[in-house]
Structure 1
Amino acid sequence: MLARYRDLLTTETETRLVTFVELLATWQRTHNLVSPRTLDEVWERHVGDSLQLAPIALAHKPSSWLDIGSGAGFPGLIVAIVLRDRLETVGLVEANHKKAAFLRQAVRVCSLDNVTIHAQRIEALHADLAGHFDVVSARALAPLASLLGLAAAFLSENGLVLAMKGKEYVHEEAAASDIWQFDRILYPSVAEGDGTIAAISHLKRRKA
């Protein structure tokens, strides 16, 4: 899986990824951070899945990134590791305090000085971050219409939403299109057989 992203992975980056996965395995013994049945496939199911966002986003030359519902760091922390030298600011939003504590520890051990953990719901995120992020990402967080509603306030001008979705995406897009106007490019997931990554741009709420 990692071979697909060889041009993005330096020796230092790979070391940070290994450090992160080892930390995840340690915390998983006492905390339910990811589904236990996926831990043995963490490199493909979680790390590789998250890595797919990096080359898509790089075409837009982002300097700031917000990940909503980061959980155990997928995809946001993986992106922060891989794009550490390209992103000025990364925000990870996770309301579960145990998972937020894990993310803080991962940020420390991986030396990610540009990452901030927001241990709260996205709806409570500080208003001074509005319009601040070039990319807003989420992995299986909410139906697309709701996700776009959460992301819209924090997108910079010409910002990009990266939504990691399953086979339900087509139906979710139809519902979202009643509320939102947007352009999108769909990428088939190489980690999830029926998964889709929707790269959504020019997001605007339709007039009532």
Structure 2
Amino acid sequence: MINSEEAARAYCAGLADNQALDRLQKLADLVAEENERQNLVSNASLDMVWQRHLADSVQLVGYVSRETPGQWMDLGTGAGFPGLAIAAVRPSWEVLLVESRKRRVEWLERAIKELDLANCRVAGSRLEDVKNFSAGIISARAFAPLGKLLKLSARFSTRDTIWLLPKGRKAAQELAEQPVAIQEMFHVEPSRTDETAGILIGQGTPRLS
């Protein structure tokens, strides 16, 4: 379990090279700076930014092959987690950040430029207005309840799409409330950064009633 800033940095170092670690630190600095202008994350969490936000995001790459997985689609990216952090540690992976709030879109575009992430772009619109394409990975940290999330995003999935959905303390509960087909598609993995939190992991196209 990652339970300190030192442990979080060490964990990220095991999944990223020095350049990527530098990008993560710069991302942390950019978030802290922007947080004075708009509420990206809670101020209290900035004291544990590596544990609460960076390592919490980066842990998702551990569930994906090191090879380019196809476009990574991050829903409701907000402050940039997990999508922007993923793009920072895997510059060869194509990452699409979906965010509808104008100020957040402006922030994400500015952060992408500051971090020099040619692999990352923002879809500044509601998910319903994003054109269909086949995503290799779909992630969402705090986008919507599971049922609604799947209904909105299933059209971007194929039988090979991997779903990585950090759901906090309600991961198992949200999954248990879904139809059997969805329960069979996903399983819960414990978060490395919070012993009370879980990540819903699945593959394929959801069978929705």
TM-score, length basis structure 1: 0.89
Q: 1:64 aligned to 59, 71, 91, which one?
A: 71
TM-score, length basis structure 2: 0.89
Show the counterpart of 1:84.
91
Q: Superposition pairs for residues 114-125 of structure 1, below 5 Å?
A: 114-125=119-130
Partner SS state of residue 77, structure 1: helix
Select the structure that is richer in strand.
1
Query: Is 2:108 the partner of 1:106?
Result: no
Show the counterpart of 1:93.
98
Q: 1:141 aligned to 128, 140, 143, which one?
A: 143
Residue 119 of structure 1 aligns with an amino acid whose one-letter code is G
Show the counterpart of 1:162.
164
Show the counterpart of 1:197.
199
Q: 1:37 aligned to 30, 44, 58, which one?
A: 44
Pairwise CA distance, 1:122 = 0.9
Structure 1: 4+ residue segments shifted above 4 A: none
Residue 45 of structure 1 aligns with an amino acid whose one-letter code is R
What is the number of residues matched between the two proteins? 202
Partner SS state of residue 151, structure 1: helix
- RMSD, aligned CA: 1.9
**Tell me, which stretches of 5 or more residues in structure 2 are unaligned?**
1-7
Q: 1:95 to 1:179 in 2, by over 3 A?
A: farther
Question: What whole-Å deviation, never above 9, does each CA across 1:135-175 have from its counterpart, x for those lacking one?
Answer: 00001221111112222111233101111012222221122
Counting aligned pairs with the same residue, the percent is: 32
Q: 1:155 to 1:149 in 2, by over 3 A?
A: same
Partner SS state of residue 194, structure 2: coil
Pairwise CA distance, 1:188 = 0.5
Show the counterpart of 2:32.
25
Pairwise CA distance, 1:192 = 2.0
Pairwise CA distance, 1:61 = 5.3
